[in-house]
Each structure stands twice: as structure tokens, then as C-alpha cells.
Chains A and B, each alone.
Chain A
Amino acid sequence: MFYLFSGIILICSLLTITTRRILRAAVYLLCVLLATAGLYFMLNYQFMAAVQLTLYAGGIVVLIIFSILLTHHISHRFKHPDLTKLVMGISAAAIGSGLVIATILSHKFVPGTAPELPVNMTEIGNQLLSTGKNGYVLPFELISILLLAAMIAAIVVAKKEKNKNSEI
């Protein structure tokens, strides 16, 4: 099962950056995100997988597809990238991934022996809003402010200007 999911992830992420039609790239990205949610289900993190499905696969991909439809003709095809960029990109990716994989394989990971914490919604909610040990209330509040700021910024930036004289 894991190898099926990782095969989908690798093939679809390669296709995402090599396909010449941008709408197909978005659909391949959707496949990658769904297979990642499958990996989270396999690791028994149901809440994380649900967040991945709703936010990433449901929200971000829909947003990307909307913006593609607003800014492209549907039959638009990319030109091939020029050769120097291709060589640079592939060599950077190959060298980097070779280094990182060599480091991973040479390091000895010690698996944790502690008893497994049952991940249920009560536990997640308590830890997310507690201020004591294992509490995450500060990043929770920070990200709420960040989301509010991003929402206002998106509205202000994408708003059509009424006339040239009025300042925002």
C-alpha cells in the first residue's frame, strides 16, 4: 500500500512540473495531495489526513484552478523551457537529492519506544488550546491573526480600483 501511494506521489509530482498544459498540472497536483492524505491515513493520523483533504485538496487546488481559468485560455500550451534552465534545474535537483538521501541512509534513526498516544479529537483540542506543557496556544493565535491578515490582503490586492484619484 505504501509503495502504491509513493509511486503515485512521485509520478504525479514529476508530471506536475513536466506537463505542458497548466490545467493538467493542477489535476496532477491534486493527485499528489490525495496520495499524501492516504499516507497520513496509513500512519493512523486521521485528523491530519482530513485536514489535508479539506484544506489542501479541497481549498488550495480549487483556488489554483480558479486562477488558471481566470488567467489562461483553456488550450494554452507552454513552450519548452530553454536548455540551460533545464540542465541547471535537473542538476540542482539531482545533486541535492543525492546529498540528502546519502545523509539519510548514513544516519541511524532510533525508533521511539514510548507507548503510542491515542490520537483523538479531545487530545488534539486540549493540546491546541492549553497554555501549559505540550500546549500550542501561541502558534494557534498567531496563525489566526495571519489568516485574518491574509484574507484582508487578498481582498485589498485583488480589488478593482474605482477611479485613479481615490487612495486606498
Chain B
Amino acid sequence: MIQGIPLEHFLIVSTIMFFIGVCGFIIRRNLITMLMAIELILNSVNINFVVFNRYLYPDQLQGQFFSLFIVGIAAAEASVAIALIINIYRKLQNIEVENVNEMKY
């Protein structure tokens, strides 16, 4: 539709990106890299919202607003997560997930 690109191609790209994020979340054992995988996941969801808005409901703006709010939530989440990571590093001197079991009861 837009420059002859069908909707499905956008969706396939964002799906593959989402599952790359899931895979990275599973195989990596470092807190910052897991945070990056979460950013990948949120970003792929954003692409979905915007593309559905453009192709299916071009007379409204819902998808754009939802992705705006997701970007805001991602910013809040990243700031809190990085504060936690720095605090953990101060206590344990590294940020591997296996070592963060001091809170276990």
C-alpha cells in the first residue's frame, strides 16, 4: 500500500525482532544485556502499533499514542533498572544474574 510494501512484511520484521529479543533474554546472563533485550522487545511492539495504525486505521491516531506511552514507560523502566544495577554492582562487584541471589529467603 505504502510504496507497494504489504503490511505483512512489517509484521514479519517485527516478529523476528521480538523473538530475537526473547532469545537474548534467555541466553544472556548479564543484567545490562538482558535490559537491552527488553528494549528490543518493546521496540518491536512499537513498530506493530504504528504499522497497524497507518495501514488499517489511517484516520485515527490510537497506535501512535500507544507507542508514545510505551516509549515513556520504557524510559522509566530503564532508569529504575539502571539504578538497581548500579546498586547491585556496589554491593557485589559484578552484575551476573547467578550472583544476585542474596535476596533469596
Contacts and interface: CB of A to CB of B under 8 A. Distances in A.
Interface of A: 1-2, 6, 9-10, 13-14, 16-17, 22, 25-26, 29, 32-33, 36, 39-40, 42-45, 47-48, 51-52, 55-56, 59-60, 63-64, 66-68, 70-71, 78, 81, 85-86, 88-90, 92-94, 96-97, 100-101, 104-105, 109-112, 114-117, 119, 123-124, 127-128, 134, 136, 139, 143, 146-147, 149-151, 153-155, 157-158, 160
A25 B36 contact: yes
Contact of A119 (B15, B64, B68, B79): B64
Interface in B10-38: 10-13, 15-24, 26-30, 32-33, 35-37
Interface of A: prevailing SS: helix
Given A86-B27, A112-B58, A2 B9 contact: yes
8 contacts: A2-B10, A22-B32, A45-B54, A64-B39, A71-B89, A92-B22, A101-B15, A104-B11
| Interface size of B as a range | 35 or more
Contacts of B9: 2, 6
Contacts of A111: 1, 7, 55-56
B22 to A, nearest CB: 6
B80 A48 contact: no
A93 B74 contact: no
B86 A45 contact: no
Given A60-B39, A97-B16, A128-B65, A81 B71 contact: no
Contacts of B67: 48
